[in-house]
Amino acid sequence: MTFRTTARTRATAASALVASSLLLVPLAGTAAAQPAPATATAAHGAPRTGAFDATALEKALAEVPDGDVSAALVRVGGKGSWAGTAGVRDLRTGAPALPHARFRAGSTTKVVTAALVLQLVAEKRVDLDAPVTRYLPGLLPPSFTKPPTVRHLLTYTSGLRPGASLGSTTEEMYAHRFETLTPEQVVAASVARGPAHDPGERQEYGNIHYTVLGMLIEKVTGDRYAHQAAVRVFRPLGMRHTGFPYGPDPRVHGPHHRAYADIGGRTTDVTEWNMSDRWAAGDMISTTADLERLVFGLFGGEVVPRPLLDQMLTVPRIEGATYGMALERYVIGGREIWGKTGSRPGYHTVLAATRDLSRTVVYSVNAKSAREDGFPLVRRFALPAFES
C-alpha cells in the first residue's frame, strides 16, 4: 500500500511526539546475552508508609524477567507513592530495564482523544449530542438512517462496525507490520458495511469510534490531530516525552525497551512496527511518568472542565455498559476505579485512578502475551495497588 499525505498523515506527529531526539544505536554483534537478574527500586518516598504497602508489587517485579514478561515499569501515586523497575531492555544483551523508557501506549491514546473532543465542547465548537455528520459531512452512506452523535462515539455506542485491518492476530499482522492503512481507509471500510445497530442501543468497545473522533478533531480545528494533542494536553501538563510517530515511522525513538511476541512458536522482536492505522485510537508513545501526569491533570480538572469530566466519568444507562468516555469503570475492594488499558504487540499499558486521586497506578509491561487476555498482567502489576 502507498502512504497518502493528508492533514492527518502529514504529521500524525509532525511535532513528532514532542519527542526526545535521542536515537538508539543498533546493537553490535549477534551473541545472545543471559537476562540480568530482575531489579526493583522504590522511589518518590517510602514504599511501606502511608496508605500504600508495596509488598505485592515488589514480589511481582522480583519475578521479572520470566517466560512472558521481559520488563516492567510501575508507578503508584496518591496517598503513599512508589515506583519500581524490573527486567531487561533487550533479551540479547541482558541490559537492565530503564525507568524512563518510552513505549507504545496503545489504547490509552483514547483518553487523550476524548479530552480533546471535550475541550472543543467546552469551547462550544462541538455539541456532544449533534450528529457526527454535522462535522464530517459525507462520512456516512444512506444506510445510516440514524447517524450517531459525538457522545455515541465517545461512549463506544455509535453502532459503527470495525474498520479495515491488517490482521486479527499478532501473527497475521506481523507479516504486514511495515504496511500502511490510513484512517480514511479504516473508516471507509467500516461505514461501507452499514451500521451494526442503532446508536445508543448497546456498547461495543472498538478503535473505530475514536478513529472517527480523530477525523472530527482535525476537521473542526483545521489542524493535525498530533499537534492538537501536543498544544492542548502534552505541553500544558509537561508531558515532554509523549507524542506520535511521524506517519508510518515504525521506530520508537529515544530510550526504550525491545518488545517481543510469540510468532510461529518463536520469541520474535516486534519493536519496529508501523502503527499508523491505530492513530487517534492507539498510536501514542509515552513514558510512565508522563502518563502519571496525564492522570493527575485529567482527574484534577486541568485538562477538561469539571462538569464535562463528570460526563466523561458517567457510564451510559445501557445493559452491560462499563465505559464512560474512553475510560472504564471498575469496583475493586469497594473502591470505584476509572482506568484504561492499552495493548500493542509486545507492550501492555495501564493507567487507572480513583476519582479523588487517593490512588493512581500507571504501568508499562513488555510481555509476549500483551495482545492476549491482559487481565493476568493487570492482576499482577496494577491491582495490588488498589487492594492494599
Contact of 269 with 261, CB cutoff 8 Å = no
Considering the chain, what percentage of its residues have pLDDT values greater than 90?
Answer: 84
pLDDT score of 24: 26
What 3-state class would DSSP assign to 70?
strand
Residue type, 154: L
Rounded to whole angstroms, how far apart are CA atoms 366 and 69? 6
Calculate the alpha carbon distances from 338 to 328, 334, 347 in Å: 5, 13, 21
pLDDT score of 53: 85
Rounded to whole angstroms, how far apart are CA atoms 51 and 271? 37
- Pick from 142, 282, 138, 141: which is nearest to 206 by CA? 282
Rounded to whole angstroms, how far apart are CA atoms 299 and 297? 6
- Pick from 218, 244, 245, 284: which is nearest to 6 by CA? 218
Rounded to whole angstroms, how far apart are CA atoms 338 and 323? 9
Rounded to whole angstroms, how far apart are CA atoms 313 and 292? 18
pLDDT score of 52: 79
Report the residue count for the chain.
388
Phi, psi of 384 (to 5 degrees): -55, -30
Rounded to whole angstroms, how far apart are CA atoms 152 and 247? 28
Which residues touch 55 (CB under 8 Å, ≥6 apart)? 48, 388
What 3-state class would DSSP assign to 171?
helix
pLDDT score of 51: 60
pLDDT score of 180: 96
Domains of the chain (ranges, CATH numbers): 39-387 (3.40.710.10)
Residue 141 C-alpha cell reads as 452512506
- H helices present in the chain, as ranges: 55-62, 109-122, 150-154, 170-174, 183-191, 207-221, 225-229, 235-237, 279-282, 288-299, 306-312, 375-381, 383-387
Count other Cβ atoms within 10 Å, centred on residue 123.
10
Low-confidence ranges of the chain (pLDDT < 50): 1-50
pLDDT in tens, 130-164: 999 999 999 999 999 999 999 999 999 999 999 99
Contact of 325 with 114, CB cutoff 8 Å = yes
